Structure 1
Amino acid sequence: MISVERTMVVDRPAEEVLRYLADFGNTPEWDPGTETCTRLDPGPVVEGARWRNTSRFRGRRTELDYLLVQYRPDRLVFTGSNRTVTATDEITIRASGGRTLLVYRASLRFNGLARLASPFLRAEFEWLADAVERRLPVVLEGS
């Protein structure tokens, strides 16, 4: 398994940050690996909402179906899967005087033979996490 974590402070109220990040369809705006992220079901964004995420990694396009597993005022958890990988994105949020402390953690568990490649992919996932750390605050503060 590969896990990466980044901590950011953004100049936006926690409620706005939570609402924006709860809609996983916004992911292409802040995740440099994501090309598209399309809602698969109608209605409000609540636990159980689903998206299809299309990403590019190492020159290959891959699709994962994501589910909003947990939606609390201080925490969001999404899980995405396909036959090769199961991804968990966990976002914790804490208000701090009009600003927001945000911790983003992504974990990837590879299935089958793909597990063998896991140690060789860590550096690229660290690079992607660094890119999210640079881009997400800019997007949140501009939204």
Structure 2
Amino acid sequence: MITMPVVEQSVVIARPTSEVWAFLTDAANWPSWEASIVECEQLTDGELGVGTRWRGVNRILGRKLDWGTEFVEYQPEKVATSKSVEGKFGFTATTRLEEVDGGTLFTYRVDSESGLGGVFGKLADPIVAKAYSRTMRASLDNLADLLTTDT
């Protein structure tokens, strides 16, 4: 059985779910908080929903990786899941929001192809997953700071 590297982290953000959702569903905001994302944009016109496509560039362990995704699940202010449709590696990314005391619990999960499609090789999976997990943790903390700092 092939296991796919999974990285999942959560953070409580001291903002209403509607505000966190509005920020996360704007592709242009992702590079401002997600440390591995260099570029991100929405390709399709209109409101975000199932079938919406985004493209972007990540930098993971010094390598730039271009990708394109399509949203396959979309429940406003609850969950959005996108699946890669272009790029050198396959992945699924899920953002999930839940109202909690003190704000919004945001959980971000990325399931990726073993070896990231051969970019790093299967033997590197634990190293890449650990490095990306640290990056994701820092990114979620950055997001919480960004959304709760009064400007």
Shorter-chain TM-score range: 0.7 to 0.9
- Structure 1 residue aligned with 2:63, among 54, 60, 63? 60
8 A contact 2:69–2:85 mirrored in 1: yes
- Structure 2 residue aligned with 1:71, among 65, 69, 74? 74
Deviates further, 121-130 or 74-83:
74-83
Shift of 1:19: 2.1
Cα distance in structure 2, aligned partners of 1:38 and 1:136:
18
**What corresponds to 1:84 in structure 2?**
88
Gaps of at least 5 residues in structure 1 are none
The alignment covers a number of residue pairs equal to 143
8 A contact 1:25–1:51 mirrored in 2: no
Cα distance in structure 2, aligned partners of 1:139 and 1:131:
12
**Which runs of at least 4 in structure 1 moved beyond 6 Å after TM superposition?**
none
RMSD: 2.1
Superposition map of 1:1-143 within 5 A: 1-72=4-75, 73-97=77-101, 99-109=103-113, 110-111=116-117, 114-142=121-149
Render the CA deviation track for 1:21-79: whole Å, top value 9, x for unaligned: 12233210111011111221221222211111111122221100022221113111122
Render the CA deviation track for 1:65-105: whole Å, top value 9, x for unaligned: 02222111311112224453112111111113561111111
Shift of 1:133: 2.4
Cα distance in structure 2, aligned partners of 1:97 and 1:117:
39
Deviates further, 38-47 or 78-87:
78-87
TM-score (norm 1): 0.86
> What is the one-letter code of the residue matched to 1:48?
G
Cα distance in structure 2, aligned partners of 1:11 and 1:120:
32
8 A contact 1:85–1:111 mirrored in 2: yes
8 A contact 2:13–2:147 mirrored in 1: yes
Larger strand proportion of the pair: 1
Q: Secondary structure at the match of 1:44?
A: coil
